[in-house]
Amino acid sequence: MPHSPEEKKKVLARVKRVRGQIEALELALERGDDCSPVLQQVAAIRGAVNGLMAGILESHLREELMNADSSTQSRAASIDDAVSLIRTYLR
């Protein structure tokens, strides 16, 4: 989770853009728009959500790895946690 006010502001702005994209998709579906523009909108939403996920994940990893103890065992555990997070969220 982003902790600095600047990071939090950026993440919230991304969430609001995603919300706008989803609302536009909803309207397109209600209107019965053609499939091609609807699929393009879905792809744009997917990209926006992936970008949001990557930003939050990056923030988390930076915080965890920067705060890790300097011992080899602790660093190995931090790296294992990071790999696990990446595998879980970027499937």
This prediction has a pTM of 0.74
Per-residue pLDDT 10s for the chain (91 aa) are: 667 888 889 999 999 999 999 999 999 999 999 999 999 999 999 999 988 988 888 887 777 777 766 677 777 777 788 778 787 876 6
Spatial neighbors of 57 by CB under 8 A, at least 6 apart, are 85, 86, 89, 90
Q: Residue 78's domain is classified under what CATH number?
A: 1.20.58.1000
Q: Which domain holds residue 78?
A: 5-90
User: How many domains in the chain?
Assistant: 1
User: Is the alpha carbon torsion for 75, 81, 84, 88 positive or negative?
Assistant: negative
Distances (CA, A) of 24 to 10, 72, 78: 21, 49, 40
Question: Please, where are the H alpha helices in the chain?
Answer: 5-31, 35-66, 72-89
